[in-house]
Structure 1
Amino acid sequence: MILDPEDLGPRETYKFLTASVVPRPIAWVSTVSADGVNNLAPFSFYTVASRDPATLVISVGERTDDQAPEKDTLRNIEDTREFVVNVVSVSLANAMHESSLNHAPEADEFRAAGLSAAKSELVAAPRISEARISTECRLDGIIPIGSDHLVLGRAVRFHILDDLYKSGRVDLEALDPLGRLAGNYTKLGGIFNLPM
C-alpha cells in the first residue's frame, strides 16, 4: 500500500506519523512566563538535535482550543529564551497527563499537577523536583515548519538523581521512562544488546 500525505490530509497524516514513528520519548517542558507564571506541557515530537554542542529539539504544534493563537510553552520560550526538559518516568504519568490538559495561561501547572518546582541553576524556568532527569536549556533558535515550530535548546545543565548515574551511564531501568505510541503510552519492556 502506498499513502500520499496530500490525499490523507493533515489529521490522518498526523495519526499515521504518531503510530509509525514509535516509541517516542516525551519532553516534559517547564517554562516560566514573562509575568512569572510556571507552565508545564509534554511534547512527544522530541529528540536530540546535536551532541556538540548538546542541543535538544521539540516540535510545538498549534493550539487545539481557542484560548490563544499559540501554546503557552512557545510564547514563554520566545519571551524568556529559556526552558527545561524533564524526563517523564512511569510513576509521574498521571501528573504528566494533568499538565497536558488545557489550563488557563495564568494557572500554575506545577500546582495543578501536584508537583514541586525546583530552582534551576542557570535558567529562570524551574525544574520538576520529582523528575529523575532534567536538562536546563537556552534557546538556540525557532524554525517554523508549516503549522508547527521546531524549538532548538542548547543544554546548559543536566540534573540527574545520584543513584541513576553510574560509571558515566544512565541506569535506564531505574529511570523507567514513559514513551508515546500513537494515542497510547509504553514503558521499557526489556533491554537487550545486538547481536542477540
Structure 2
Amino acid sequence: MRFDPSEHETKNIYKLLSGSVVPRPIAWVSTLSDSGVHNLAPFSFFTVASRQPPMLCISIGPGVGARKGTVKDTLENIRTSKEFVINISSTPLGNEMQKTSENLASEVDEFEEAGLTPISSEKIRPMRVEEAPIHMECKLHQIVELGSDHLLIGEMVLYHIQEDYYMEEYKVNFEKLRPLGRLAASFSESRDFFSLPKEDLK
C-alpha cells in the first residue's frame, strides 16, 4: 500500500505518522503566562536536538476542538517568556498528565486542575511538577515554523532527578521510572529492557 500526502486529508496522514513513529516520549511542559498563570501540557512530538550545548525540541500544533484556530497557551507563553520546563512523567502519573491535555481556558491553572504540586525552578520562572521524577529547565533557543506546526528548540540549563531514580555514572533507572510513551491515540509503558543482538526476538 502507498499513501501520497497530497491525495489524503491531513488528519489521515497524521494517523499513519503517529502510529508509525512509536513509541514517542512525552514532554510534560510547564510554562508561565504574562499574567502569572501556570500552564502545564503534554506533547509527544519531542526529542533531544543537540548534545553540546544540551538542547531539546518539541513540536506544537495548532489549537484543536473548542480552541481550533487559536495558538496553544504553551506556544504563546514560550514566545513571550522564552522559558519552559520539560517534566518527564512516569506511568503512575498518567491520569494527571492526561488531565492537563484537556482544552482548558487560558486563565486556568493546570497544576490546580490536575491536583499537582508546583515547585520553583532555580534558573527560570516557570514551575516544575514536584511529583514528576525528572525536570529539565530550558531557555528558548529558536522557534521554527514548519507548516501548521512550530518546532521549539530549548537549551537545557539545569537538570533535576529524584535521587531514587538515579543510578551511578549518570544513568537513569528505567525500571523505577516506568517511562510513559505514546502509540497513536494510545499510551504505552516500557517494562521490558534488553540489549541487542538478542537470540529470542522472534
Could you say which TM-score interval applies, normalised by the shorter chain?
over 0.9
Q: Which residue does 2:175 correspond to in 1?
A: 173
Matched letter for residue 95 of structure 1: E
Superposition RMSD in Å: 0.9
Aligned residues: 196
- Is 1:151 the counterpart of 2:152? The answer is yes
Structure 2: how far apart are the matches of 1:28 and 1:72? Answer: 13
Which residue of structure 2 lines up, in the alignment, with residue 85 of structure 1? 86
* Structure 1 unmatched runs, 5+: none
Structure 2 counterpart of 1:9, which letter? E
2:163 matched to which residue of 1? Answer: 162
Segments of 5+ residues of structure 2 without an aligned counterpart are none
User: Residue 117 of structure 2 corresponds to which residue in structure 1?
Assistant: 116
Once the 2 structures are TM-superposed, how far is the Cα of residue 66 of structure 1 from its aligned partner? 4.6
Residue identity (%): 48
Q: Give, in angstroms, the shift of residue 91 of structure 1.
A: 0.6
Question: 1:8 Cα shift?
Answer: 1.9
* Equivalence map 1:4-153=2 (5 Å): 4-67=4-67, 69-153=70-154
* TM-score of the pair, normalised by structure 2: 0.95
Matching residue's letter, 2:162: L
Q: 2: distance between equivalents of 1:173 and 1:28?
A: 20
Matched position secondary structure for 1:100:
coil
Deviation (angstroms), 1:9: 2.1
Paired residue secondary structure (2:192): coil
Choose from 188, 191, 200 the match for 1:189: 191
2:65 match: secondary structure: coil
